[in-house]
Amino acid sequence: MSTNEDARDIAFMTFEDALVELEAIVRRLEEGTAKLDEAIAAYERGAALKRHCERKLEEAKARVDKIIAGPDGQVSSEPAKLD
């Protein structure tokens, strides 16, 4: 698979699927049994998966509502501002 195909493949992954694959890559790299070229390719894919997971987390944070307690004790919510 080419780098562009890898990027497209990762772009359509769910957070959970990307995390499972990233964990598998980390385990394989920790074993140290892969050939150098395979390890480099796995590391590069792992880095792309990590970036994808970080983006997915940021997207999720942006959708989370901020809970606000008013002076009268009433609780309400508004979209969180993560700037």
Decide if pLDDT at 79 tops 80: no
Total tally of structural domains belonging to the chain: 1
pLDDT, one tens digit per residue, over 2-30 is: 667 777 899 999 999 999 999 999 999 99
Nearest CA to 12 out of 40, 49, 58, 54 is that of: 49
Domain of 15 in residue numbering reads as 3-79
Please tell me the pTM assigned to this model.
Answer: 0.72
